Amino acid sequence: MDFASLLGIISGLALIISAIFLGGNADVFLNVPGLMIVAGGTIAATLLTVQFKDVLNAFKAAWIVFTRDNTNPQEMIDTMLELSRVSHRHGLLKLGDVESDSHVLKRACNLLSEAASEQVIRNTLQNEIDSLIARHHSVQDVFRKMAAYAPAFGMLGTLIGLIQMLSQLSNPETIGPAMAVALLTTFYGSLLATMMFLPIAGKLHARTLTEVTNLEIIREGCISILTNDHYMHVYEQLASYLPEAQRKPIKIGRKQQQPPAAKPAAKAAANPVKERA
């Protein structure tokens, strides 16, 4: 699981729950009708706005983001340097035998092995980038809409509670508890929006930026390999996608300049490229 996400969820919930218990009776913060209004209303409004499959895809994507680590751009640069080494040793045709967990990288290797033109490779991978951005935007939009609907339904629940409270003004003893119950729905809506929906949308957006960077590295790396650039030149072009502090320097040996921290191809977790025997 992503450590930052786990830390954020635990620390945020711990602080809120601690504040509730330190403030007095925690039972007053539980109101089933208020939860029904906020949670049920938010889900209903979201389903009215987007298709049901889009909502399911959004929650599936959120689960993947919070449970799986994304490929680091530095690892993708190392992968492209390894592919450059393979192409120089065995030719572009050998890249067709490369196996990868990334379907985009596998597709790019197939295009290289088939001697596709630079324009074909550039257009194909750019289409992959554009479609990824579009898919991820629709997923993020679901959580942004839910973040907007939750506080609105919280206010709606508060209005319902206030109406019920005002109908019983003849009994002053019920005004205080009724007011507390009315305000709980606003609390539920704000909590769901700020602690759940908006952070998930932000995490998905950050993951999208990383994945787009990886695809751009694949695109530019494949074009450099196609033009038979030396892998030192490949590295110089791809390193610009990383902040300077995160770039690994190329080690220059006696025989050949080696890519930074090149890992064996058999380690699919660190380097998704594997050559078939």
Structure tokens at 165: 């409270």
Handedness of CA 138, 140, 146, 152 (dihedral sign): negative
With cut-offs at 50, 70 and 90, classify the pLDDT of residue 175: confident
Q: What local confidence, expressed as pLDDT, does residue 143 receive?
A: 95
Contact residues for 76 (Cβ-Cβ < 8 A; gap 6+): 214, 217, 218
Domain boundaries, the chain: 32-277
Q: Residue 258 pLDDT more than 70?
A: no
Rounded average pLDDT over 16-28: 80
The span from the CA of 137 to the CA of 183, in Å, is 33
Name the residue type at position 34: G
Structure tokens at 120: 């074909």
Q: What local confidence, expressed as pLDDT, does residue 162 receive?
A: 87
Q: Residue 22 pLDDT more than 70?
A: yes
- Whole-structure pTM value: 0.78
Q: Residue 93 pLDDT more than 70?
A: yes
Q: What is the mean pLDDT of the chain?
A: 82
